Amino acid sequence: MSPSSPGRIVVVGAGMVAHRFADQLRSRSAEGDWRLTVIGDEPLLPYDRVHLSDLFTGKDAAALALEPSVWADPRITLVTGERVERLDRDARTVTTATGRVEPYDTLVLATGSWAWTPRTEGTDLPGVFSYRTVADVVAVQEWAATRAAELGRPLTGVVVGGGVLGLEAAAALQGLGATTTVVEFADRLMNVQLDDGGGEALRVLVTANGVEVRTAAAAVRLGAADDGAVATMDLSTGATVPADVVVFSTGIRPRDRLARESGLAIGERGGVVVGRTCRTSDPAVWAIGECASFEGECVGLVAPGNLMADVVASQLFGGPRTYTPAPEGTRLKGAGVEAASFGDVFGLTPGALEVTLADPVARTYRKIVVSDDARTLLGGVFVGDASLYASLRPLLGRPLGADPSAFLAPEGGAPAPGGDVPDDVVVCSCANVSAGSVRAAVTEHGCTTVGEVKACTKAGTVCGSCVPLLTKIVTATLEDAGITVSRAMCEHFAMPRAELFALVREGGLRTFSEVVAAHGTGRGCVICKPVVASILSSLGAGHVLEPEHAALQDTNDHVLANLQKDGTYSVVPRVPGGEITPEKLLVIAQVAQEFGLYTRITGAQRIGMFGARIDQLPAIWRRLVDAGMESGQAYGKSLRAVKSCVGSAWCRFGVQDSVGMGVRLELRYRGLRAPHKFKVGVSGCARECAEARGKDVGVIATEKGWNVYVGGNGGFTPRHAELLAEDLDDDRLVQVVDRFLAHYIQTADRLQRTAPWVADYPGGIEELRRVLVEDALGIGAQLDALVADHVDGYADEWRSTLEDPDKLRRFQAFVNAPGEHDPDLAYTAERGQARPARPGETAHHDPVVARTLEIVP
C-alpha cells in the first residue's frame, strides 16, 4: 500500500453516515486503488432514517433507500444483514457473527446509536416496541393490524418519550387507528429543544390533534392481558392507562461495544473518543456519526455525522479538513404540527435578550434570542408556524439586520432573509452546503434551476427544509448573472399572454395569421398557437373548430378528447352539477361495453371512458349526443365541471338549492376558454360537502343567499379560495362570477390558474372586490359582455362536429386506408376492465376481448 492510499477500508455500520462516507470517497478519489467494505447488520440497503416516519404514511421501505449507485462501484462491497461481533486491532481484522473475517488497513466505525429503553417492568411483553429502524416500524404496523383484529376494537397506544421522535411515533400510531397518549418525564414536550412557552404551545397543538399529553410522568410498570400481551401502563403519577401498543422513544445511546471491548478510548457518557480529525485512540481506526464522542458529546443528528464522514474522507487522502461542531437546529417532522428551534433556545448567553410573540388565537409561539445589543442572532424557537426557522437558522451568530420584533410581526414585518446571505453561511446543514457553494453551482457549473443545483451540490436533498432559502439564492444569483426569466411567451411572441390578449382585442384580430403578422414572427409553436386559439375563442372570434383555428389546437382540442399514454383518448360527457338520469347512465354503460372502454368515476362527478381510438370517437359521440349528452370539455383549457352537493332538495341540512345553482353555472360557463382549466363548486350549506373552497370559484349557501369564494386550488399547490362577496341573490351571484372569470381570462398569464392570479393580484382580494363587486374601475359592463357573448354563441362542439363532414375527416386513422386502425395498440385485463398492456404482458389489440383475458400471474 502506498503511503497516499488508505488501502483496504472497512466501515462498520451501514447507515446514512456510512453512505455519505462511501459517496465522498468515490468523489474524492475517482481513480484510486483503495477497496471499501461496508458491513451493516440491518438487512436493507442503507436508507434515510431521517424520514423513517414516512413509512407510516404508506411509503415503501425501498423508497427510503439512499442513492444506490454508490454500491455499484467495483471497488466497494456492501454487506448487509451481518453484525460485526469482534474487532482485533492487533491483527487488524473484524469478524462478523457468521464468521466472516475482514482484514483492514483503515477502519471506520459508523455504528450509530441504539434506542435506549428504561428498565421498566414489562418492557419485554409482546406489543412493546422501540422506534429506530425500518424493522421497528414494520413490527409496529403489523402488531397494530393484528392486535386490533384480535381485540375487535380500535387500539389505545402509548408513546413513552415526548421528544421529536416520540411525537412522530405518536402521530404514526394515530395514523394506524390508535387513540394515543404521550408520556413525558419532563414537564413539557421536546424539553431539550423548546423553552417553557414553546413546550406549552406545542402541547396545545398536539392535544388539538387528538393526542393526549401527560408530562411530568414516567412509565413504572407495564401490565399484561390474559393472553400475555401488553394491556396497561402504570404511571409514576399513580394513574394507570390502557396500552394495547407501546412505543418507547426515550433517547439513544452510542453503539460503542466493539470499541469498548477492543480497548479504544471511550467517552464519559459513552461513544468512541475522537479528535478534530475523527481519529480514535488507534491511528488506524476512525469513528464518525452518532457513535463518535467529540469533546465528551455524541450528537444524534445526521448533519454532524455527514460532516465527520467528509472529514475522514479528506484525511485519508492527506486532506486538511477537520471537524468543528456547528450549532444545530431541530425541526419536528411528520407529526402534523410545526415546531423547530436552533441555537441558544433558553437565552443562557450572558445578557441575551428574548423577543417573544405568543399568539393563542393563531396558536403560534415564536421567540428570537439576540445578543445584549439586539444585533446578533443567538437562537430561535418556533411552534405552530416554523416558516422563519429555515430562513433565520443560517444567520445564527450573525447580524440579524432588522429589529427582532419585525420578524415576528404577523403581517408586513421585515421580510425573511433572502438571496443575499453571506457566502460562508451554511444553507443546508444536512449536506453541509454553504451559500457560496450554491452560488458557485450557478456561476461556475452552469446550473440554471433549483433542481440542477440540488443535483450538483446535494443541498436540500436530505430533510428539504432549506429549499425555500435555496430557491431564493438560486434566483438571485441567476438574476445577478443576467439570466433573467424572459417575459416573452416564446420565440414568436415577445409579450406575455395578458398583453397579447389586449392587443388582439383592441386590434379586432380574428385569425392566427393576422395576429402573428401584427405582433409576432414565424409560424408559431406549441406554446403560442394554443394561447392565440384560446384568446380568439374567448373573444368570440369564431369557433375553436373553424379551419383557420384548427392548426392552432393541440390534439386534445382538435379532436375534442383527451390524449392518453398509448395514443387513444378519453371520452367524458358533461354531467351538469353531477346530476344524471338513469337513461343516460344506461347509454354510457352500453357504449362503454360495446367499445371495450375502461370506465371510472372522475373526481369531478362525471364518468370517464378511456381507450377510444381516434377513428372511434365520432361513432361513440353520435350515440352520446343522440341520448341528449354533450361535450364535457375534459380536454380543454376551459370550465371542467361544477361540483355540487345534493342541497336543499333532499338534504336535511341544505339551505339553498345547490344542484340547481350548479346546473345553472355549469350550463352558463360550459365551453368558455380560459388561460387554464377551471373548476367551480356549489355547497348547499356551510357544511361545504362540495369542497367548493378548493375550486377556482366556490359558492356556499347561507340563510340569506350565497357567499362566493375565488382562487382556490387542489393539485400541486393546494390553496383555499378567498371570500369575495357575501349573501348574494341568484342573479347577483351569477354577475359576480361572470366578472371574475372574464377579468381572469383577460389578464392572466398563459397557463396561470386562478389561485396564483388572485394571490398576485395587485391590492389583493380587497382590490379584486372593489373592481368586481363594486365596479370601481367601471369595467363591469365590458366584463359582463364577454360572458354574455359566450353564452349567446355557445354550441356543443361534438354536435357541430358530427354535423360537418369536413370536420369528421380528422378522425381517420389512415388517410389512404379507410377502415384500418393503429395495429400497435394492445390491452390486457385488470380488475375486469382493459388497460394498455406493458411489454411482455398477455394482450389483445381489441379491448373488448382484452378485458376478458385470463391473466396468469
Q: Which residues bind other proteins (CB under 8 A)?
A: 491-492, 522-526, 529-530, 547, 550-556, 558-559, 563, 565-567, 614, 809-810, 812-817, 820, 822, 824
Q: Is 466 annotated as a binding residue?
A: no
Q: Is 651 annotated as a binding residue?
A: yes
> Taking each helix axis from N to C terminus, what angle separates 497-507 and 528-538, rounded to the nearest 10 degrees?
50
Grid coordinates given for 435: 451559500
In 81-215 the beta strands, taken as DSSP E runs, fall at: 84-88, 93-96, 101-103, 106-109, 113-115, 128-130, 156-160, 179-183, 212-214
Q: Is 38 helix (H, G, I), strand (E, B) or coil?
A: strand
Closest contact distance (angstroms) between CB of 469 and other proteins is 25
Closest contact distance (angstroms) between CB of 538 and other proteins is 19
Grid coordinates given for 536: 380568439
Closest contact distance (angstroms) between CB of 493 and other proteins is 12
Grid coordinates given for 301: 443528528
Q: Closer to other proteins by CB, 313 or 552: give it.
A: 552
Q: Is 751 helix (H, G, I), strand (E, B) or coil?
A: coil
Q: Closer to other proteins by CB, 167 or 545: give it.
A: 545
Q: Is 463 annotated as a binding residue?
A: no
Between CA 206 and CA 298 the distance in angstroms is: 29
Q: Is 697 helix (H, G, I), strand (E, B) or coil?
A: strand
Q: Closer to other proteins by CB, 517 or 686: give it.
A: 517
Q: Closer to other proteins by CB, 372 or 491: give it.
A: 491
Between CA 770 and CA 724 the distance in angstroms is: 10
Closest contact distance (angstroms) between CB of 554 and other proteins is 6
Q: Closer to other proteins by CB, 149 or 526: give it.
A: 526
- Helix H or strand E encompassing 678: strand 678-683
Q: Closer to other proteins by CB, 553 or 605: give it.
A: 553
> Taking each helix axis from N to C terminus, what angle separates 450-457 and 467-480, rounded to the nearest 10 degrees?
110
Edge-first strand listing for the sheet containing 245-248: 128-130, 245-248, 156-160, 179-183, 212-214
Q: Cell 449507485, residue?
A: 69
Grid coordinates given for 208: 388539538
Closest contact distance (angstroms) between CB of 516 and other proteins is 10
Closest contact distance (angstroms) between CB of 443 and other proteins is 22
Burial annotation 412-440 (CB, 10 A radius, 16+ → b, else e): eeeeebebebeeebbbbbbbbbbbbbbbb
Helix residue ranges, H only, 317-466 = 387-392, 404-408, 435-443, 450-457
Grid coordinates given for 836: 394498455
Q: Closer to other proteins by CB, 739 or 835: give it.
A: 835
Closest contact distance (angstroms) between CB of 251 and other proteins is 45
For residue 128, what is the DSSP state?
Answer: E
Closest contact distance (angstroms) between CB of 687 and other proteins is 42
Closest contact distance (angstroms) between CB of 844 and other proteins is 18
Q: Closer to other proteins by CB, 771 or 837: give it.
A: 837
Contact 472, 466 (CB under 8 A): no
Q: Give me the DSSP letters along 203-225.
A: HHHHHHTT-EEE-S--EEEEEE-
Q: Closer to other proteins by CB, 375 or 845: give it.
A: 845
Q: Is 685 annotated as a binding residue?
A: yes
Binding-site annotation: residue ranges = 645, 651, 685, 689
Binding-site annotation: residue ranges for [4Fe-4S] cluster = 645, 651, 685, 689
